[in-house]
Homo-oligomer: A and B are copies of this chain.
Amino acid sequence: MKVISKIADIKREIKELKRAGKTVGLVPTMGYLHEGHVSLVDKSVSENDITVVSIFVNPTQFGPTEDLAAYPRDFDRDKEMVEAAGADVIFFPTPEEMYPEGACTKVSLSGITEVLCGITRPVHFAGVATVVTKLFNIVSPDRAYFGEKDYQQLQVIKRMVKDLNMDVDVIGMPIIRETDGLAKSSRNIYLKGEERTSALALSKSFNIISDMVKAGEKDVKKIKQAVTDFIHSYPHTKVDYVELVDPSDLRYLTQIEGDFVTALAVYVGKARLIDNKYFSGVIK
C-alpha cells in the first residue's frame, strides 16, 4: 500500500492505473477510522481494482466555533486499518496542499443544505461539497463510498454529482453500530463517563417513533415532541434537532404520508452526535 501526500503524485499514479484499464474506488474520510469506515473500504475493495482511501481533516467544513483543532487524529492506526482492509493507496494531503494561498472556489448547494445540520452548521456542506469535488477530480474514482450515518451529506453529494454531471457512482453504506445501538463515530471518543449511556438516547428513540407510527400517529409534531422529551430524559443531552424528512430532498414533513427518514442531532456533553433511520412500509 502506498501513502501519497501530493496531488500531482496521486494524479500521475491514477492516470497510469486508468490507462491500464483499472477501476478505482474512493473512500473519503477524515481519519480516526472505525468499523463504519472499514465497511466502506471493504465494499470498495470488493467492487474495484484499486481502492484509494483519503484521510484529510478538511478545515473548510468546520465552523469557527467547531472542533477542528480537537478532532481526533491517529494516522498510524488508520494506516494499519486501511492496509488490513486491502486498500491500495492512502491519499494524505496537508491543508496547504489542498488549499494553497489564493484558493477562492467553492461548490455549494441551496435548499438541501439549509435544513437539518445546515442550520447550526451553515458553512459545513459547502466545505464538504468543495473538498469532495476536489477529491473526485484528483482521484477520478469510478465509485465513491459514503456512510449513511451522515445521511444529509450523502444526499448532498448525490445531488451535487447529478447537478454537475460528474462521472462517479456514489454509494451509501449502512450505519455500523456498537452492540448496544450507538452509531459508530469518530466523535464518540468525546463521550465521558455517563455520557456514553446518554448517547444511547439517539438510537433508542427510533423505537418510540416505530411504536407511535404503528399505533397510527401521523402528526409529525407530536412524534418530534415525544422523541425530544425522551432524549432529554437522559442527563447531559441537548437536542439540536429532531426531524422527519422526505428521504431524497430532505423536505421537512408535517404529516406522515409514506417512507420517511428520521434525522437527529443531539449534544451529549461536548459531543455533537447525529443518527438517522429510514422508515419504510410502516404506513398502510
Binding site for B on A (CB under 8 A): 7, 11, 102-112, 129-130, 133-134, 137-138, 140, 159-160, 162-167, 249
Contact B163 A7 (CB under 8 A): no
Q: A134-B164, A165-B138 are in contact. Are A107 and B104 (CB under 8 A)?
A: no
Residue of B nearest to A168 (CB): B137
Q: In the complex, A140 Cα to B166 Cα: how many Å?
A: 10
Contacts of A163 in B (CB 8 A): 103-105, 134
**A159-B105 contact, Cβ under 8 Å, with A165-B7, A165-B134:** yes
Q: Could you tell me if B104 and A106 are in contact, using CB atoms closer than 8 angstroms?
A: no
Query: Given A107-B107, A137-B164, 19 other A-B contacts at CB below 8 A?
Result: A103-B163, A104-B110, A104-B112, A104-B159, A105-B129, A105-B159, A105-B163, A106-B107, A106-B108, A107-B164, A108-B108, A130-B164, A133-B164, A134-B164, A137-B165, A137-B166, A137-B167, A138-B165, A140-B167
Q: Considering the complex, give the chain B residue whose CB is closest to the CB of A167.
A: B137
- Minimum CB–CB distance from A21 to chain B (whole Å) comes to 9
Q: How far is the CB of A24 from chain B (nearest CB, A)?
A: 14
> B residues within 8 A CB of A166?
137
- Neighbouring B residues of A102 by C-beta, 8 Å: 159, 249
B7, B104, B107, B167: which contacts A105 (Cβ < 8 A)?
B107
Distance between Cα atoms of A140 and B165 in the complex (Å): 11
Q: How far is the CA of A108 from the CA of B105 in the complex (A)?
A: 6
Determine the distance from Cα of A164 to Cα of B105 in the docked complex, in whole angstroms: 7
* Closest CB in chain B relative to A100 CB, distance in Å: 8
Residue in B closest to A103 when the chains form the complex, CB atoms: B163
Q: Which residues of B are found within 8 Å of A167, using beta-carbon distances?
A: 11, 137, 140
A160-B105 contact, Cβ under 8 Å, with A165-B134, A167-B137:
yes
Q: Give, as a whole number of angstroms, the nearest-CB distance from A80 to chain B.
A: 28
A162–B8 CA distance with the chains assembled, in angstroms: 12
B residues near A106, Cβ cutoff 8 Å: 107-110
How far, in angstroms, from A109 to B108 measured CA to CA in the complex?
Answer: 11
Closest to A135 in B: B165
